[in-house]
Amino acid sequence: MVSKTKTDSIKAVSELEKGEEAIVVEIKTEDDSVLRKLMAMGVLPGIKLIVLQRFPSFLFQVGYTKVAVDKDIASMILVSI
């Protein structure tokens, strides 16, 4: 059994600050097209991302790929920090 420590927390990408790193844990959407697009860009559970920009859109890096999304989609990507 894996136990979470007090420092583990789940947040949406939209809540992260520029420069923060996190691990994707879930993409919370019922829209299959959004899910497919994010997965095709490499946004998958277990992948580390780094927030590069918050405005005018959210820009983050996964691996060697930079992904830009609006706030609604950034809110669907749940991460562990």
Spatial distance between the Cα atoms of 56 and 10, rounded to a whole number of angstroms: 24
pLDDT at 41: 95
pLDDT at 26: 96
Predicted model pTM: 0.88
Spatial distance between the Cα atoms of 2 and 28, rounded to a whole number of angstroms: 22
pLDDT category of residue 8 using cuts at 50, 70 and 90: confident
pLDDT at 4: 52
Which pLDDT tens digit goes with each residue over 28-66?
Answer: 999 999 999 999 999 999 999 999 999 999 999 999 999
Residue 25 pLDDT exceeds 80:
yes
For domain 10-80, give its CATH number from 3.40.50.300, 2.30.30.90, 3.90.1170.40, 2.60.40.10. Answer: 2.30.30.90
- The residue extents of the domains of the chain are 10-80
